[in-house]
Chain A
Amino acid sequence: MAQSSTLGDKVYRTILFAAATSILLIVAAVFYMMVQSSIPTLQRFGIGFLWASEWNPSQELFGALPFIYGTVVSSILALLIAVPISLGIAIFLVEQAPKKIAKPIAFMIELLAAIPSVVYGLWGIFVLAPFIRTYLGPVLQDNLGFLPFFQGRLTGIGMLTGGIILAIMITPIITAVVRDVLEAVPNTQREAALALGATKWETTMIVLGNAASGIAGAVVLGLGRAVGETMAVTMVIGNSPQITASLFEPAYTIASVLAANFADATDELYLSALIEMALVLFLVTVVINGLAKLLIMSVAGRANASKHT
């Protein structure tokens, strides 16, 4: 009897162990295959691949800089828009709104995260891009046209549109994490501040101060999403490997060059150049997500940190 039960335990445990280990093996295999496939470009261009700015596959000129630039700028743009709005929503939901209002609003914002990327892309092409071309763009040009960011031809497709779409897409995730972080701040802090005569907003500022590292984690997590977001950006950013200060001009990100060109890359060196960029993207997202997890864990505890990554 005892014999069979230990045998059963062993079998059961081994099966579960194998399943859990498969996750480890998948990540190891992804990493190995990408390093393996980028060897041709690694050998040919070395580390300089990352800051070479020429991209012309037909002449075997491969430089990743325009894509790195596009990824960085579009992600920063997205954070600039999304972080204040997400903070505002989270503060409203946790600190101000009564539960009856907060619950449905929180759910609707979660639904934003459920909408697929390609749908944001479709909406971006046919609703957001025309809106930027006819309304937002001219207003920015008239008032801030002296800045290099708002010069150049205005087609509606470009860096700005990509940044705004990304902002909409990362707002739900930043909001959700900030909400958890704020909810983890003990109520005694709020009561103490209010008892000393602080206004509601002053109390909120104190709460925010105590949740600062968790909020930083939420922002970093949002950055991780923005950097890896693919379809929506590919559809609205214009897919042109150039480095320009103008936000109206088309640009390219690492993820979008993979989506748009991978299928056409028949030549070995071309394919290898794309996969090396994928490797860079992979490593960057791993580091960003790890950092976000550490920051969120420091405030909201283990359970919450794992919920969102």
Chain B
Amino acid sequence: MAEAATVHSKRRITNLVMTSLTAICAVFATSVLLIIIGFIAYQGISSLSWEFLTDTPKPVGEGGGIGNAIVGSAMMTLLAAAIGLPIGIAAGVYLAEFGKNWYGNTIRFIADTLIGVPSIIIGIFIYTVVVMPMGRQSGLAGGLALAIIMIPIVARTTEEMINLVPNSMREGALALGAPQWRVSWNIVLPAATSGIATGAMLAIARITGETAPLLFTALNSRFYNFYYDQPMSSLTVQIYNFATGPFEVEHAMAWAATLLLVGFILVINIVVRYLTRKKY
């Protein structure tokens, strides 16, 4: 009887210890997020100023800013979205509407593979097919690298969103005699638009934070550059250069640029979460 009681209490203690440990894991991970964001906000806010946001990098001690990096990031993200969104969405529609066969499965598998490929490898690929033939790094090369990263992500989220559209809508339109492309384009796609748009926003947030594929495709630039055929600065590469530089002033600028970048990315993520809250 007493033995049974100790076995029982042992089980209860194990239960208590292990369940508390899992809670501690959750608390630990959320505090890491808060610590990281806290540091970025605390360190970054002191260097933010109008001059910092509009000026170009200057020799250490003369101030300077990241205006050209903001413009560069925006231009390359825009180019990537202009190429990556249409191709990605079209590929996603194909997978959802015509991809329930071996070819669709192959594309699906290849897309997932491409999502898993480290982004630096995409950078090297673009280096060999764009930078080497052109003879120099450029915003075009950077934007293309980001587009390649974007295409499979957008394709897979688009497919998922289209799959959420009820089949009865398709059947209704087909029964009324509409051709398949009309059904897909005028009935199914509009119904999935908000889902596809949130997927696109998340993909844009993701490529804005990419550094590795830009390092040797877009390189960097100390000046405002509005031409895609020239080397282009970006927020992420600028943060990397500031952070690995030797001077305190540069480190402060790295934190401020990070505040801007992380702020942008987190706002997109939170807005998307807010907009899709009912579905989850």
Contacts and interface: CB of A to CB of B under 8 A. Distances in A.
Interface of A: 5-6, 8-9, 11-13, 15-24, 26-27, 29-30, 33-34, 36-37, 84-89, 91-93, 95-97, 105, 107-112, 114-123, 125-127, 168, 171, 175, 199-202, 204, 224, 227-231, 235, 255, 258-259, 262-263, 274-275, 278, 281-282, 285-286, 288-290, 293, 303, 306-307, 309
A118 B212 CA distance: 9
B121 interface: yes
Nearest to B39: A127
Contact of A15 (B24, B90, B219): B90
B211 interface: yes
Contacts of B223: none
Contacts of B28: 85
A282 B117 contact: yes
Contact of B90 (A20, A105, A120): A20
The binding surface of chain A is classed by DSSP as helix
A9 B179 contact: yes
A115 B19 contact: no
Given A23-B151, A229-B118, A309-B116, A92 B265 contact: no
Given A34-B125, A116-B262, A309 B11 contact: no
B113 A290 contact: yes
B15 A199 contact: yes
A266 B118 CA distance: 23
B18 to A, nearest CB: 5
Contacts of B93: 16
A304 B117 CA distance: 19
Contacts of A26: 114, 148, 151
B29 A16 contact: no
A227 B117 CA distance: 10
B40 A119 contact: yes
A15 B14 CA distance: 60
B128 A230 contact: no
A88 B21 contact: yes
Nearest to B90: A19
Interface in B96-127: 97-99, 104, 106-125, 127
Q: Which of B120, B123, B243, B254 has the most CB of A within 10 A?
A: B120
A17 B87 CA distance: 10
Nearest to B181: A12
A199 B11 CA distance: 7
Interface stretch (B30-38, B52-60, B165-173): B30-38
14 contacts: A20-B104, A23-B107, A30-B122, A34-B128, A108-B30, A118-B236, A118-B240, A224-B116, A228-B121, A230-B119, A231-B240, A275-B128, A282-B121, A309-B112
B98 A17 contact: yes
B74 interface: no
Contacts of A97: 23, 26
Interface string B42-71: 010000000000000000000000000000
A20 B99 contact: yes
B212 A16 contact: no
Given A34-B125, A278-B120, A293-B112, A118 B19 contact: no
A8 B179 contact: yes
B209 A258 contact: no
Q: Ordered nearest first, which 3 A-B pairs have the shortest CB separation?
A: A116-B209, A88-B25, A228-B118
Contacts of B219: 263
A286 B111 contact: no
A81 B215 CA distance: 30
Given A19-B86, A23-B114, A115-B265, 14 more contacts: A6-B179, A8-B182, A19-B94, A20-B99, A23-B111, A23-B151, A34-B128, A111-B269, A117-B212, A119-B261, A126-B255, A201-B14, A201-B18, A258-B124
